[in-house]
């Protein structure tokens, strides 16, 4: 796991002294084990290294034998040994045992399409000095981040937004559309960022940048297709699931350093832990975060898992207030990011990094196998029937060949379903957002989100749950869950690997019939994530497996009660005259939301997002928005 940075200048622009060094220094926490740079004409690549594979000879940026191809890379290619053997058979010579060199030779052999052959998590910039182009690529599911900034005569890229603020240019301009999207979803969806000139590269895409400034892409090289196969029996599907999970866990343990596992006590991290215990002949360390509020604690379940697997468990309890931690955490994310579970994630990453440089986690299991509470709402009969009503209609791509009335019905149906889905997942309801925005900004709440519109147009209609899962895999998983884990972990230089957020695992999940993702149990109660829970029942009792789902969020509602330090922080950030928030939002509405929060009146979702946004604006007062 590492930090990457780079900039390509064209025309009369040339490399600026110290620019790539500053960009690389901004991601130093991602790679404490080494630093490297490559500069030639208008191209500069930078790298910070966290050594996990090939500790002695994996330094970057790394070039090929004749120095015509150079790469700066963040991530791990889990099938690099198989690719190394294949490339050697094709005549390529390797100087190292690193997965980095595989990327160089795979590009030489297959060009940009080499990314289709990689199984892993990756984000890289690769310079081809012969073809005079820069290739930017991101992994299939968006585990590793990649941002790029365009300006007059240059394109810069990096693992974090902070590095792009080090480019020799004026500060980028802020986006009010991004602020509105943040209030809706608690994150800014891909490809947008809080800055107009800066973009998130979407997962499963590559971008080609000519040394003359020409751009092609981002081009999508993979898309998850839900195509349920009802043929195999439940027993056969269970066997396939267990084999795929064991194979994925085995692949994710390729490492030259010690590692552990994050144990929440939930279904997915428990399944990963059980497979690890069967693969290894030694005990490893598990890490768990507890809350002083017993209603939020799952530490007892993590302890049960550790005993079953023979792991040594380290637990830390999140206590006190957040006033010391939150401003720094807001700064690390580089733009407003409102998932409050980043706080315990930061704590568990710090705990784990004190013992190991790499861990496995259960992230991705809920999206792949249907585990969220939101899916229960979504599986109402009315929604399922609405989806079926246009499931077999022609696609919008062929709308010109059908009558306008049919095309219009398709558009309205798809928009209606998407709006219903978004209403169920919004963190600040539309009426609250409208009341917050000042009159001159009332257009913003009505504007659609490009990412959600694109994902909805491609979402499956095989069943209602597949539609919701696909939307989450395209939006919530990369933009929230994986971003949260990456940034919180890399604050401490910890690599987190995700066996469920894996190409092979997701493609298996997309083949499951509905009955193995969602069905009623013997009491008629809907069971989400049915197949993984069935697998876990082999090792744990029913009361462990089928207990109510517990989230990972801290007790924000209590933090914001009158008399608590969180309430004081809210008042200090949201209310003072001159607060940047007052440029856009009605002060009486902010005050009313704050005063409405109390015992039995939870307004913490809205307050938390306003607090994060207010802190970020305080830290970035030089940014101008429009």
Active site (catalytic) residues = 2
Is the preceding omega at residue 385 within 30 degrees of 0, hence cis? no
Sheet holding 120-128, edge to edge: 62-63, 69-77, 120-128, 133-138, 205-210, 215-220
3-class secondary structure, 204: coil
The Cα–Cα gap between 615 and 518 comes to 41
Cα dihedral 533/527/451/228 (nearest 10):
70
Token pair in block for residue 350? 């710090």
Q: Which ranges of 280-438 does DSSP label H, i.e. alpha helix?
A: 299-309, 326-333, 342-353, 365-369, 374-378, 381-388, 404-425, 430-436
* DSSP code at position 30: G
Nearest to 270 by CA among 236, 308, 238, 317: 308
The phi, psi pair for 3, rounded to 5°, reads: -120, 135
Burial group, residue 359, by CB count within 10 angstroms (0-12, 13-18, 19+): buried
The Cα–Cα gap between 295 and 313 comes to 21
The Cα–Cα gap between 94 and 372 comes to 45
Biggest alpha carbon–alpha carbon distance for the chain? 72
Q: Give the position of tokens 């784990």.
A: 352
């Amino acid at each position: 796991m590492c930090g990457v940075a780079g900039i390509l200048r064209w025309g009369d622009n040339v490399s600026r002294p110290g620019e790539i060094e500053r960009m690389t220094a901004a991601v130093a926490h991602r790679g404490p084990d080494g630093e490297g740079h490559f500069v030639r004409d208008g191209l500069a690549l930078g790298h910070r290294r966290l050594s996990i594979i090939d500790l002695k000879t994996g330094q970057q940026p790394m070039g090929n034998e004749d120095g015509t191809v150079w790469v700066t890379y963040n991530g791990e290619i889990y099938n690099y040994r198989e690719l190394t053997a294949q490339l050697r058979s094709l005549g390529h010579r390797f100087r190292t045992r690193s997965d980095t060199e595989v990327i160089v030779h795979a590009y030489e052999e297959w060009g940009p399409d080499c990314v289709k052959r990689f199984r892993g998590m990756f984000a890289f910039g690769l310079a081809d000095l012969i073809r005079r182009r820069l290739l930017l690529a991101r992994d299939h599911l968006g585990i590793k981040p990649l941002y790029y900034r365009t300006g007059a005569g240059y394109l810069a890229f990096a693992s974090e937004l902070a590095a792009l603020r080090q480019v020799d240019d004026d500060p980028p301009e802020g986006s009010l559309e991004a602020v509105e999207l943040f209030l809706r979803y608690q994150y800014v969806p891909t490809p947008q960022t809080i800055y107009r000139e800066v973009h998130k590269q979407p997962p499963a895409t590559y971008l080609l940048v000519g040394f003359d400034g020409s751009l092609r892409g981002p081009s999508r090289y993979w898309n998850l297709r839900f195509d349920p196969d009802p043929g195999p029996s439940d027993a056969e599907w269970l066997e396939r699931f267990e084999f795929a999970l064991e194979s994925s866990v085995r692949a994710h343990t390729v490492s030259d350093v010690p590692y552990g596992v994050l144990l929440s006590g939930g279904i997915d991290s428990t399944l990963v832990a059980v497979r690890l215990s069967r693969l290894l002949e030694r005990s490893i360390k598990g890490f768990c975060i507890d809350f002083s509020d017993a209603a939020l604690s799952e530490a007892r379940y993590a302890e049960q898992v550790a005993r079953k697997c023979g792991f040594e468990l380290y637990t830390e309890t999140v206590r006190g207030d957040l006033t010391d931690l939150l401003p720094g955490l807001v700064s690390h994310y580089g733009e407003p990011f409102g998932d409050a579970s980043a706080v315990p994630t930061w704590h568990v990453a710090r705990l784990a990094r004190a013992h190991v440089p790499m861990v496995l986690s259960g992230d991705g299991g809920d999206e792949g196998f249907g585990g969220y509470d939101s899916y229960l709402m979504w599986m109402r009969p009315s929604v399922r029937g609405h989806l079926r009503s246009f499931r077999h209609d022609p696609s919008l791509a062929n709308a010109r060949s059908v009558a306008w009335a049919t095309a219009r019905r398709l558009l309205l149906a798809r928009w209606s379903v998407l709006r219903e889905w978004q209403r169920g997942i919004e963190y600040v309801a539309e009426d609250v957002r409208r009341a917050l925005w000042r009159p001159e900004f009332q257009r913003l709440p009505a504007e659609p989100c490009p990412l959600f519109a694109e994902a909805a147009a491609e979402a499956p209609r095989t069943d209602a749950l597949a539609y919701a899962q696909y939307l989450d895999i395209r939006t919530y998983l990369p933009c929230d869950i994986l971003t949260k884990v990456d940034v919180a972990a890399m604050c401490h230089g910890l690599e987190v690997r995700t066996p469920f957020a894996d190409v092979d695992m997701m493609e298996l999940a997309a083949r499951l019939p509905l009955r193995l993702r969602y069905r009623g149990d013997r009491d008629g109660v809907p069971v989400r994530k049915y197949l993984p829970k069935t697998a876990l029942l082999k090792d744990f009792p029913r009361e462990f497996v089928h207990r109510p789902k517990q989230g990972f969020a801290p007790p924000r509602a209590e933090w914001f009660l009158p008399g608590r330090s969180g309430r004081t922080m809210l008042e200090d950030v949201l209310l003072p005259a001159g607060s940047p928030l007052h440029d856009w939002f009605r002060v009486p509405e902010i005050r009313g939301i704050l005063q409405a929060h109390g015992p039995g009146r939870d307004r913490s979702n809205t307050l938390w997002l306003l607090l994060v946004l207010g802190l970020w604006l305080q830290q970035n007062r030089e940014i101008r928005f429009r």
